[in-house]
Chain A
Amino acid sequence: MEELMEILSELHPEVDFEQEERLVDGEILDSFDIITIISEIADTFDVVVPAREIVPENFNSAGSLWKMIQRLEDGE
C-alpha cells in the first residue's frame, strides 16, 4: 500500500489520497493520470491492469486501487 501511495502522491502531491474517495468522479484524476498509474502499477507490482478493470469504481480511491491490485495479483 505504501508503494501505491508513493505513486499517487508523486502524481498529485496536493491531494490527500488517504481521505479522497472521488478521484475519478471528482475529476481529480484524468485519463492521462490513469494510464500513468497503470504503467507504474505494472512496473512496481508486476500486475497488468486489463482494460475491463478501468472503471471509476476501481480508481476512485487509493483503497479501491489497492483492492484491485490484490485481486489481480490473486489472478481473479
Chain B
Amino acid sequence: MNFTSYEFILLTGLILVVYYCVPKRFQWMFLLAASYGMYASAGWMCLVYISITTFSTYLAAVKISKLSGQKADYLKEHRNGMDKEARKAYKDSIKRKQKVWLWIALAVDIGLFVVLKYSNFFIGNINALCSGLEQWKIIPYTEFLVPLGISFYTFQSMGYLLDVYNEKENAQKNYAKLALFVGFFPQLSQGPISRYEDLSRSLYCGHEWNAETVCFGLQRILWGYFKKLVIADRISIGLKTILAAPEQYQGIYFGVAMIFYAVQLYADFTGGIDIAVGIAQAMGITLKENFMRPFFSKSIKEYWNRWHISMGSWFKDYLFYPLSVSKTMLRISKKSRKLLGEEAGKRVPVYLTTSIVWFCTGIWHGASWNFVVWGLANCAVLLVSRELTPVYRWCHQHFSLEKKKWYPVFCVCRTVVLMSALRMFDCYRDVRIPVRLFFGMFTENNFSELWNGGLLRLGLSMADYIILLCGAVLMLSVSLVQRKQPVRKTVSELPYPVRTALWLLLFTAVLLLGAYGQGYEESQFIYNQF
C-alpha cells in the first residue's frame, strides 16, 4: 500500500487510535496483525514470501544461538580439563554447524529475493546473448509478483541473522516478535533497514499515550507528505517530460534534469523516510535516521555516509568487512603484493572488495545494467578521489585552501554536481544516453532556453516553479536549522499561536498544493521500486 494512498492514510490513523486503546502488553501483537493486514492488501503471495524469509531466518537464528549456548556451557564445564588445542577444535566444530544453518537461511533469503526480483533481468540477458544462436527459443519472462519492500526486509532479516551468528545478538525466540521486526509496516516499503539492536529496544515494549511524542510524530509525517506531494510529485512532471524525449531535450535541458532529479529524489526519499519515522514515533517506536543532510557533504565519501545511512552501513558491515577479511581476499592480498609489489599489491583487495560492494549496491537499486553502471561509477569516483588524497593534501598545504571561505562552498557544490550527474544513470535504461547528453551540455549552446520560455514548456507553470522554489528554500532552511536541534523542537519552543499557525500552514500547503485533483494518480515513491 502506497504511503500516499487514501487507504493508507486512513488505515494508519485507525491503527494509531486502536494502538493506544489496546492494553500495553498486546500492543506489539496488534502491530503485527496490522502490519500483516496492510501487507496482505498488496496480495496474499506477498505475505507468503515474507513469511518464508521470516521463518528461515527465525529457525536458523534459534539454532545458531542454541549452539552458541551449548558451546559456552561445554567450555565452562570443561574449563580445566581442556587444553588450548582441544578448546579450539571444539569451537571450530560448533562454528561449522552454525555455518551450515547460516548458509541454509541465507540461501533461502537470497534465493527468494533473487528469483523474485532478478529472474526477468537474467532471462532478458540470456535471451539477448543467445538471440544470435540458431534454433534459440526465447525464454518467456516470469510473472512473479515482486513483494513491496523485498529488498529492505530481506536485508534486514539477513543483518539480524548475521548479528546472531557473530554473537552480537541473542536470537529472538518468539516467532511472532521476529515477524514484527521483519514486517513492521512503516519501514516495509522503503526502509530504513533497521538493526535488531536498535529497533527491538522500543518495538516490543508497551507505550503510554504521550501527547508530545505523538504530536512530534504527526508533525514529521506532515513534513514528509509536504516533501513528497508538494515538491517531489510536482517536479516529477517536468522531469518526466525531459526524460521521455532525450532527442528533443538536450544541452542545458540535461543540466535541468540533473537538478530536477536531485531535488525529486531527495524530497521523495527523505519524505518517505519522514513518514515512516513519524508513524513509528507517533507509536513511541524509534526508527534510526536514514539521512544527515547529505547535500551538505564536502566529498562523495562523506555523502555516502550521510545518504541512505542504513543501506550504506549494511553493505559496509555485512558485505565489505566480511569480504575483506575472508581467507580468499587475504590470499589475493598476499599474491598481489608478491606480483605487483607492496604499494600496488595492497590496493588490489581493497579495489576488488569495493567494486564488488558497489556492484551489489547498484543492482540492489534495480534489476538493470544502468544501476550497475551507476554503482560502479560511484566506486570509481571514490577510488580515484582516494588515490588523489596526496594531491589534495599538497593543494591544501600550498594554497591554504582550508582557510579560504569559499572552499567549503566549492566542495559542497562539487559533491552536489557530481552526485546529480551520476544519478542520471538511474533515469535512462540505456547508459549511453546520459553519457552523450552529459557531454552535450558543453557542446550544445542552448542556454537561452532557460529564459526564453523553454522551462514553461515542460508541463510546469510559473506558479509551479514558484512553489518548487519556495519548497526547496524551505527544505534548505530546515536542514540548516536542524544542525543545532530538531526543527520540531525549535518550533515547539515558539508561542502556542505561532507554532499552531505554522503547522496549520504546512497542513494547508499539503492539501492545496499537493499533487491532488482530477486525474490525480498517486505516484509511487522512487525507493518503493528498489
Complex Cα distance, B98 from A44, in Å, reads 30
Contact flag A51-B84 (CB < 8 Å), given A35-B349, A35-B350, A39-B346: no
Interface-facing stretch out of B199-207, B249-257, B322-330: B322-330
Q: Please pick, from B301, B325, B354, the residue contacting A48 in the complex, using a CB distance under 8 A.
A: B325
Q: Is A4 part of the contact surface with B, judged by Cβ < 8 Å?
A: no
Complex Cα distance, B301 from A74, in Å, reads 36
Q: Is A15 part of the contact surface with B, judged by Cβ < 8 Å?
A: no
Complex Cα distance, B316 from A31, in Å, reads 8
Whether the Cβ atoms of A49 and B325 lie closer than 8 Å is yes
Q: Is A26 part of the contact surface with B, judged by Cβ < 8 Å?
A: no
Whether the Cβ atoms of A52 and B167 lie closer than 8 Å is yes
Whether the Cβ atoms of B322 and A51 lie closer than 8 Å is yes
**Minimal beta-carbon separation of A73 from chain B (angstroms):** 11
Contact flag A39-B333 (CB < 8 Å), given A75-B87, A75-B88: yes
Complex Cα distance, B349 from A38, in Å, reads 12
* Cβ-Cβ contact count across A and B, 8 Å cutoff: 48
Whether the Cβ atoms of B324 and A35 lie closer than 8 Å is yes
Q: Is B166 part of the contact surface with A, judged by Cβ < 8 Å?
A: yes
Closest to B357 in A: A31
Known: A35-B349, A36-B350, A43-B334. 20 other contacts (CB 8 A): A31-B316, A31-B320, A31-B321, A32-B386, A35-B325, A35-B353, A36-B346, A38-B325, A39-B324, A39-B333, A48-B330, A49-B325, A50-B325, A51-B166, A51-B322, A51-B325, A52-B167, A74-B84, A75-B87, A75-B88
Interface string of B311-323 (1 = CB under 8 A from A): 0000011001110
The secondary-structure label for the interface of chain A is: helix
Chain A: interface residue total (CB-CB under 8 A): 18
The secondary-structure label for the interface of chain B is: helix
Interface string of A23-60 (1 = CB under 8 A from B): 00000001110111011001100001111101000000
Complex Cα distance, B350 from A32, in Å, reads 7
Can you identify 30 A-B contacts, CB atoms within 8 angstroms? A31-B316, A31-B321, A32-B350, A32-B354, A32-B386, A35-B320, A35-B324, A35-B325, A35-B349, A36-B350, A38-B325, A39-B324, A39-B330, A39-B346, A39-B349, A42-B333, A43-B333, A43-B334, A48-B330, A49-B325, A50-B166, A50-B325, A51-B166, A51-B325, A52-B168, A54-B317, A54-B325, A74-B84, A75-B84, A75-B87
Interface-centre pick from A32, A36, A49 (highest chain B CB count, 10 A): A32
Interface string of B354-369 (1 = CB under 8 A from A): 1000000000000000
Complex contacts, B168 vs chain A, CB 8 Å = 52
Whether the Cβ atoms of B301 and A38 lie closer than 8 Å is no
**Minimal beta-carbon separation of B61 from chain A (angstroms):** 15
Complex contacts, B301 vs chain A, CB 8 Å = 30
